[in-house]
Amino acid sequence: MLASLAIRDIVLIERLDLTLAPGLAVFTGETGAGKSILLDSLGLALGARAEAGLVRHGAAQGSVIAAFDLPPDHPARASLAEAGLGGDDGLLLRRVVTADGRSRAFLNDQPVSLALLRRIAGQLVEIHGQFESHGLLDPTTHLGVLDAFAGLGASRAAVTTAWEAWRAASAARAEAEASQAQARAEEETLRAVVEDLATLDPRPGEEAELARDRTLLMQGEKLVEAMNAAQAALVRNGDVEASLRAARRALERVAERAEGRLDAVIAALDRAEIEAAEAVTALERASTGLDLDPRRLETVEERLFALRGAARRHGVAVDDLSELRQRLSARLDQLEDGGSSLARLAAAEEQARAAYLTAARALSKARAKAARGLDKAVAAELPPLKLEKATFRTRVVAEEERGWGPDGLDAVTFEVATNPGSPPGPLARIASGGELARFMLALKVVLARGAPTATIVFDEVDAGIGGAVAAAVGERLARLATDLQVLVVTHSPQVAARGQHHFRVAKHSRGAVTVTGVEPLAAADRREEIARMLAGETVTDPARAAAEALLAAR
């Protein structure tokens, strides 16, 4: 609810700090006292258009701060959190307008765009009267209002869930179709690549192996030359093993007489003989296993060229060619199985669509029933408000498939006809200012418990009525105020007497300066104000008695 309103230098208001409470608050005052300035100031805080003429003459800027108390589950909290402006305390809407007409908007003292300010404000306050209105006059809100009236939140959530499941199934099928179509278009190329890779038959690590062989083959002549030289050296002075063996045996014959001095030499010769034998064997093996056929080098180079060329063509490393072959082969297999996969996805999509339609049609049926109940309830409120010739209709229309969505199959609009025989039409275009406010009052009384906003403002909802009709308006405003905070600007004593809180708007002159002020009225002052509203310029005792009776009857 709106907890307070602080106004600085707006038109005739120099400084005003207004504290508000739950229930019905009425604002009265003589014509021209400045009640419209009060509403203009509130509208400014809620995001209305700013104009230079709003700033009080002589002031550099004007400002309005609207402070709200929000329950923990209020929808505005989610919007604030989404904008990074969340908090556990209340909410401050602030608007500053300079003398040249420029304005700035703030939420909780953080600068924000005017669009965000308006979006948040739209969840806090509705204003109905002789000027621009929001809320129920916006047809896009009507479906949600009807669902809230009928308590269809759970059914609507089920429809939303079914819609999202259908969309997901549809997207999966469409993605598979697109992939399949692309694969079909590439199938010929794909098969050619797979066949080429199958012929090449690359192996991971093959490039490194071939590179080593190529280096070896390219150095073959030098290798043979070196091995031949080594073999020649080993046999140049006879068999090196036989020479080592002869030397070892010669020393072994005298080893006992050397008292151990030759043991290390004999052991070294023994090891040398073994190592020499191994070296000769290894050299022979290496020489025998060396394939230095020039045709072998040509074969290795051709294989390397083929592997590296294929890698360049397909944009992968040589070692990844084998994996590419497997992947492309798998895609070809999918093409062959693609028809059955698409059929499964299409069946899943159709099943999800059917589930959505089942839930949505049940919701549509419930909405049709709720619409009849809403029409009946509103119709009962119209005669006492001097709208007995008017009709109200909740129009629920099934959309074509392109109009289906997460909220179901329906478009909902509230329509009225103010005269018998006239076709019904949108609220904003059919009803006049006073009629519109009374239609809004009738609707709000019926819809109060499902209302998203906690504060409603009515500007001269009693315009053009009096007597019993004004009393009926006052009674309905009081009833509405049991669930919501209601602020009413009124010229009707019957409406004013119903208020739980009464404020008087008046002009005061300070020398050459005229300012507008607002003061809360105590019981005695309320009686005098209502008597003035009854009697006019001269307040009489009968008027005071009538005022007392109105206050006592509320």
393-424 pLDDT, tens digit per residue, is 999 999 999 999 999 999 999 998 888 878 88
Q: Which helix (H) or strand (E) holds 476?
A: helix 467-480
What stretches of 373-479 adopt beta strand conformation (E)? 391-398, 410-417, 425-426, 455-459
Judge residue 476's burial from the number of C-beta atoms within 10 Å of its C-beta, 0-12 exposed, 13-18 middle, 19 or more buried: buried
Q: What is the DSSP string of 224-248?
A: HHHHHHHHHHHHTTS-HHHHHHHHH
Query: Does residue 97 sit in helix, strand or coil?
Result: strand
Task: Report how many domains make up the chain.
Answer: 1
CA 113 – CA 124 distance, rounded (Å):
17
Asked if 13 and 41 count as a contact pair (C-beta separation under 8 A), the reply is yes
- pLDDT at position 23: 93
**Cβ-count burial 311-337 (b if 16+ within 10 Å, e if not):** beebeeebbebbebbeebbeeeeebee
Could you report the per-residue pLDDT of 18-66, keeping only the tens digit for each?
A: 999 999 999 999 888 888 889 889 999 999 888 888 999 889 999 999 9
Distance CA(445)–CA(428), nearest Å, equals: 19
At residue 131, the pLDDT reads 41
Q: Looking at residue 328, what is its pLDDT?
A: 85
| Domain membership flag for residue 316 | yes
- Using only the alpha carbons of the chain, give its radius of gyration: 47
Q: Name every residue whose Cβ is closer than 8 Å to that of residue 52 and which is 6 or more positions away in sequence.
A: 97, 98, 99, 100, 101
Crossing angle between the packed helical segments 153-185 and 142-150, to the nearest 10 degrees? 130
Contacts of 551 (CB under 8 A, 6+ apart): 497, 523, 526, 527, 530
- Residue of 310, 447, 471, 294 whose CA lies nearest to 375: 447
If one counts every other C-beta atom within 10 angstroms of the C-beta of residue 248, the result is 19
Strands 110-112, 125-128: pairing is unpaired
Using an 8 Å Cβ cutoff, are 68 and 83 in contact?
A: no
Cβ pair 234, 300 in contact under 8 A: no
* SS3 assignment for 521-533: CCHHHHHHHHHHH
pLDDT (tens digit, 9 = 90+) per residue, 497-543? 999 999 999 998 877 788 999 999 998 899 999 999 988 778 888 98
Strands 455-459 and 425-426: unpaired
**163 Rama sector, left if φ>0, alpha if ψ -120 to 50, beta otherwise:** alpha
Residue 166 lies in a domain: no
| Collapsed DSSP state (helix, strand, coil) of residue 80 | helix
Contact 481, 23 (CB under 8 A): yes
Are 124 and 485 spatial neighbours (Cβ–Cβ below 8 Å)? no
Whether residue 81 is contained in a domain is answered as: no
Does 255 fall in a domain? yes
Q: Domain for residue 283, yes or no? A: yes
Angle at 241 between CA 236 and CA 247, to 5 degrees: 100
User: Could you give the dihedral angle defined by the CA atoms of residues 159, 161, 166 and 168, in that order, rounded to the nearest 10 degrees?
Assistant: 160
Residues 6+ positions from 447 with CB-CB distance below 8 Å: 145, 148, 149, 374
Record the pTM. Answer: 0.61
What pLDDT was estimated at residue 284?
A: 73
Domain that holds residue 254: 188-331
Contact of 527 with 544, CB cutoff 8 Å: yes
506 phi/psi in degrees, rounded to 5: -150, 155
Determine the Cα–Cα distance for residues 185 and 182; give it in Å rounded to an integer.
5
The enclosing H or E element of 503 equals strand 501-510
482 DSSP 8-state letter: T
Structural domain contains residue 310 = yes
62: which DSSP letter?
E
CA angle, residues 525, 527, 528, in degrees to nearest 5? 65
Number of Cβ within a 10 Å radius of residue 129: 21
Strand partners, 507: 516
Render pLDDT for 330-359 as a digit per residue (tens, 0 to 9). 877 777 666 677 888 999 999 999 999 999
Task: Chunk the chain into consecutive blocks of 10 residues (it has 554) and report each block's average pLDDT, rounded to whole numbers.
Answer: 94 93 92 86 91 90 93 83 77 93 92 92 79 63 89 93 96 86 77 88 87 74 71 70 80 78 82 82 71 73 88 90 87 70 89 96 96 93 86 93 94 88 78 71 77 78 75 88 90 92 90 88 92 85 90 82
**Which residue type, as a one-letter code, is found at position 369?**
K
Residue 297 lies in a domain: yes
Report residue 207 as tokens.
């490039």
Query: For the chain, what is the total number of helices (H) and then of strands (E)?
Result: 18, 15
According to the model, what pLDDT value does residue 488 have?
A: 92
Q: Are 231 and 358 in contact (CB under 8 A)?
A: no
∠370-374-380 over CA atoms, to 5°? 150
Q: What secondary structure letter does DSSP report for 210? A: H
In a domain, 522, yes or no: no
